[in-house]
Copies of this chain bind each other. A is one copy, B any other.
Amino acid sequence: FCLKSEASNCQPSEGVPLVKSIDELPQDNYGIPALSHITIAGSLLHGMKEVEVWLETIAPGSGTPIHRHSCEEVFVVLKGSGTLYLATNSHLEYPGQPQEFPFFANSTFHIPVNDAHQVWNTNQDEDLHFLVIISRPPIKAFIYNDWFMPHTAANLKFPIFWDEQCFQTPAKDEL
């Protein structure tokens, strides 16, 4: 099992053109059926050190895990609509019942640092399509099973799904 081809996509390389067609960038669901993810500008893929930009599509009735992170995160919603679930009670032992914020095409919101949140496509008829900007890549996300799981029990998911293969060492060719 050779990861060489994947791994070679993960290092900033001299061969990558400066101007890239977004349609030609790698797109995958990274094992999450309702997701399509493209890294537009990435730490591992393109050598970004301070910001990272993703383009994602989420199918109706699906969304992100409940999670928190200490980096800043901005969403720019391009198509569809959905709901942001946000628990601002990070001073308590667990997130608790989140507030609900409906969002829509051509809207934007940012996630308060360290607040547990979940972005969900609550529109049964349309894919949700958005850009995500994060600071301090690669992202270190802590994932909760539910809103009443203690903050201290949340699981660090690092590397994040789409960065996983970049952390694998390419298998050496046997000779």
Contacts and interface: CB of A to CB of B under 8 A. Distances in A.
A2 B133 CA distance: 36
Interface residues of A, number: 34
A131 interface: yes
Given A51-B74, A53-B76, A19 B136 contact: no
9 contacts: A20-B107, A20-B108, A23-B106, A48-B74, A50-B71, A50-B72, A50-B135, A53-B76, A133-B133
Given A18-B86, A40-B76, A109-B18, A133 B49 contact: no
A133 B53 CA distance: 8
Copies of this chain in its oligomeric complex? 2
Interface in A37-93: 40-41, 46, 48-51, 53, 71-72, 74, 76, 84, 86
Per DSSP, are chain A's interface residues mostly helix, strand or loop, or mixed? strand
A149 B107 CA distance: 41
Nearest to A74: B41
A96 B91 CA distance: 54
Please give me the 10 A-B residue pairs with the lowest Cβ-Cβ distance, nearest first: A50-B135, A41-B74, A50-B72, A19-B109, A19-B103, A51-B135, A22-B106, A40-B108, A19-B101, A18-B109
A143 interface: no
Given A72-B48, A76-B53, A41 B135 contact: no
Contacts of A86: 18
Interface in A1-54: 18-23, 40-41, 46, 48-51, 53
A19 B74 contact: no
Contacts of A157: none
